[in-house]
Structure 1
Amino acid sequence: MAGDWLSSRRAEVATDRILDAAGELFASNDVRNVGMNDIARAAGCSRATLYRYFENREVLYTAYVHREAYRLYEQLTQLIEGIPDPRERLLTGLTTSMTLVRESPALSSWFATADSPIGAEIAEESEVIQALTSGFLLSLRPDDPEVVHRRARWLVRVLTSLLIFPGRDAEDERAILEEFVVPMVCPTDSGSSLRPH
């Protein structure tokens, strides 16, 4: 019985190793073309072992996206924690999250426009991504949970859209987010802009 805790740690290590190998493949290949055989080979395990941890490719894809979403959220939270103004924190959080996705070859490949981007499908269906986005919105200001949930769903769609169809440059995207998204997600009575006049 004393050794039981080791088996869960081994499972965690094995899962991370498989997901790390998948990430390397996603960084250099079209995500839709990365199969279970490829991932097993890259992870140095058999297909049977791979299927013991992930019952199919969709489950593995989802696990990878969720792991990376948690990592990105932690990184983002640390980067914006010193920004006191909720509207500026929102704007910086949105622009920074897109930058972090784009700087990661493995994550940016999920939003390639060659086909129907798989990242858009998973982002729309992922309860984890919705929950993280809702948590971020609640950190800006308390609100009705249903309203927060709807805003989070909409915000995920906006960011997904910009990842698939980027603005002209970072400044253009920031202006779009500031003008159209920030006032909807984090309204203010004064109607003042984030930019100094």
Structure 2
Amino acid sequence: MRTDANDSWLDRALAQPEPEDETARRILDAALEQFTLLGLRRSSVDDVAKRAGVSRVTVYRRFRTKDKLVEDTLLRELSRFFRLLDATVAALPTMKERVVEGFVVALRHTRAHPLYGGLLRLEPEVLLPYLTVQGASSLSATVEYLAVHLGRAQQAEGRPGEDPRPLAELMVRVAVSFLLNPASCIEMEDEDQARAFARRYLAPLLDV
């Protein structure tokens, strides 16, 4: 998966969440359906082209490779997640409350998402490279996104000199660990349990 180092996933997701080209949108819709149905490994560009009602040449003209098609499909879903997260936590009065609800939303959205949740169950070894902090991954974009919000909260509280990235990465790593391996002595079966965990263990990190 190759991405311009000067153009992070977060920048791309926030700058243009949907392609302007209607055919490209139709191909991405078809890719999401295809990858959800059969996973990434067993799906081909030909499969996506047939589902979108276009030729494989049309797909390659817009996405160049299967890896690029997969990347752009995941990127669009990441963009949708950020918009959902913003809409959910924007009205909450404190950063601690936003952290708690953001954690709950992240777990619920990823587990229920037809692509992310399906791949975590069916092809975790395929999805795992996209959930690392190496390069332009969805995880590093999420860390960057959270760090921006933590930084704004720190400025509002008169602590602008602190680097929010370590705290952001710690919080995201905790969330991802529960997604990749939900078996734990910590009960996290429903939203109330996830909320209680975040309130007890994650929110206090803002005071450190």
TM-score range, shorter chain: 0.7 to 0.9
CA apart distance, 1:113 = 6.0
Indicate whether 1:47 and 2:56 are aligned. Answer: yes
Task: Assess, with a 3 A threshold, how the Cα gap between structure 1 residues 115 and 13 changes in structure 2: closer, same or farther.
Answer: same
- Structure 1 residue aligned with 2:144: 131
- Structure 1 residue aligned with 2:195: 174
Gap regions ≥5 residues in structure 1: 1-8, 189-197
User: Aligned AA for 1:163?
Assistant: L
Q: Which has the larger radius of gyration?
A: 1
Indicate whether 1:149 and 2:162 are aligned. Answer: no
User: Aligned AA for 1:134?
Assistant: A
Task: Assess, with a 3 A threshold, how the Cα gap between structure 1 residues 36 and 155 changes in structure 2: closer, same or farther.
Answer: farther
| Pairing 1:64-79 to 2, within 5 Å after superposition | 64-79=73-88
Task: Assess, with a 3 A threshold, how the Cα gap between structure 1 residues 15 and 151 changes in structure 2: closer, same or farther.
Answer: farther
Residues 95 and 150, structure 2, Cα contact 8 Å, conserved in 1: no
- Structure 2 residue aligned with 1:4: none
- RMSD over equivalenced CA pairs, Å: 2.7
2:130 to 118, 122, 126: 122
Between the aligned partners of 1:32 and 1:158, the Cα distance in structure 2 is 27
User: Aligned AA for 1:147?
Assistant: D
**TM-score, scaled relative to structure 1:** 0.75
User: Aligned AA for 1:181?
Assistant: L
Between the aligned partners of 1:61 and 1:145, the Cα distance in structure 2 is 38
- Indicate the SS of the match to 1:105: coil
Indicate whether 1:58 and 2:78 are aligned. Answer: no
CA apart distance, 1:38 = 1.5
2:45 to 30, 36, 39: 36
User: Aligned AA for 2:97?
Assistant: E
Between the aligned partners of 2:198 and 2:122, the Cα distance in structure 1 is 21
CA apart distance, 1:74 = 0.9
CA apart distance, 1:91 = 0.6
Between the aligned partners of 1:55 and 1:144, the Cα distance in structure 2 is 43
- Indicate the SS of the match to 1:141: helix
Task: Assess, with a 3 A threshold, how the Cα gap between structure 1 residues 148 and 103 changes in structure 2: closer, same or farther.
Answer: same
Which structure: greater helix fraction? 1
Between the aligned partners of 1:95 and 1:107, the Cα distance in structure 2 is 16
1:14 to 14, 17, 23: 23
Between the aligned partners of 2:96 and 2:153, the Cα distance in structure 1 is 8
User: Aligned AA for 1:122?
Assistant: Y
Residues 19 and 25, structure 2, Cα contact 8 Å, conserved in 1: no
Per mean C-alpha deviation after superposition, the further-off stretch among 109-118 and 51-60 is 109-118
Between the aligned partners of 2:174 and 2:164, the Cα distance in structure 1 is 15
Task: Assess, with a 3 A threshold, how the Cα gap between structure 1 residues 55 and 150 changes in structure 2: closer, same or farther.
Answer: farther
Residues 21 and 39, structure 1, Cα contact 8 Å, conserved in 2: yes
**TM-score, scaled relative to structure 2:** 0.72
- Structure 2 residue aligned with 1:81: 90
Residues 134 and 149, structure 1, Cα contact 8 Å, conserved in 2: yes
